[in-house]
Structure 1
Amino acid sequence: MNTPLIAVTCDTREFDGALWHATQQQYVSAAANAAGVTPLLVPALGATLDLDRVLDAVHGVMATGSKSNVHPALYGGDASEANGPYDPARDATSLPLIRKALERGIPVLAICRGMQELNVALGGTLQTEIQERDGALDHRMPDAPTRDKRYAPRQTLTAAPGTCLAAIAGAAPIQVNSLHRQAIDRLAAGLRAEAFAEDGIIEAVSPDNAQAFALGVQWHPEYWATSDPTSAAIFAAFGDAVRRHASARPSRSPIAEFSTRLGA
Structure 2
Amino acid sequence: MAEGSRAIVGVLCDCQTVDGVDYDVVRARYLEALHLTAGVVPVLIPGGLTDKELRGCLSAFNGLLLTGAASNVSPSRYGGPKALRDWRMVLLSIARSVDGVIEAVSVKEATTFAAAVQWHPEWFHAEDLLSGEIFRAFGEACHLHVKGKMLQP
| Short-chain TM bin | 0.7 to 0.9
Q: In structure 1, what is the Cα distance between the partners aligned to 2:111 and 2:58? A: 15
Conserved? CA contact 1:11–1:87, under 8 Å: no
- Residue 259 of structure 1 is matched in structure 2 by none
- Structure 2 counterpart of 1:70, from 59, 71, 74: 74
Q: In structure 1, what is the Cα distance between the partners aligned to 2:105 and 2:80? A: 27
Gaps of 5+ in 2: none
State which drifts further: 7-16 or 32-41. 7-16
- Structure 1 counterpart of 2:54, from 32, 51, 54: 51
* 1:81-120 correspondence runs (5 A): 84-86=79-81, 88-89=83-84, 91-92=85-86, 96-97=89-90, 99=91, 119=93
**In the alignment, does 2:34 pair up with 1:31?**
yes
**In the alignment, does 2:99 pair up with 1:127?**
yes
What's the Cα RMSD here? 3.5
Gaps of 5+ in 1: 73-82, 100-117, 129-182, 185-203, 252-264
- Residue 19 of structure 2 is matched in structure 1 by 16
Shift of 1:220: 1.4
Q: Which amino acid aligns with 1:64?
A: T
Q: Which amino acid aligns with 2:130?
A: T
- Residue 114 of structure 1 is matched in structure 2 by none
Instruction: Give me the TM-score of the superposition, normalised by structure 2.
Output: 0.73
Identity of aligned residues (%): 29
Q: Which amino acid aligns with 1:42?
A: I
**In the alignment, does 2:117 pair up with 1:227?**
no
Instruction: Give me the TM-score of the superposition, normalised by structure 1.
Output: 0.45
Conserved? CA contact 2:13–2:26, under 8 Å: yes
Counterparts in 2 of 1:54 and 1:233: CA distance versus 1, 3 Å: same
Higher strand residue share: 2
Conserved? CA contact 1:212–1:241, under 8 Å: no
Q: In structure 2, what is the Cα distance between the partners aligned to 1:206 and 1:87? A: 17
Q: Which amino acid aligns with 1:85?
A: G
Q: Which amino acid aligns with 1:56?
A: S
* 1:143-222 correspondence runs (5 A): 183-184=101-102, 205=104, 216-222=116-122
Aligned to 2:127, the other structure's residue is in SS state: coil
Shift of 1:55: 1.6
- Residue 139 of structure 2 is matched in structure 1 by 239
Q: In structure 2, what is the Cα distance between the partners aligned to 1:227 and 1:84? A: 29
- Residue 64 of structure 2 is matched in structure 1 by 61
Whichever of the two has the greater Rg, that structure is 1
Q: RCO (CA 8 Å, sep 6+): is it higher in 1 or 2?
A: 2
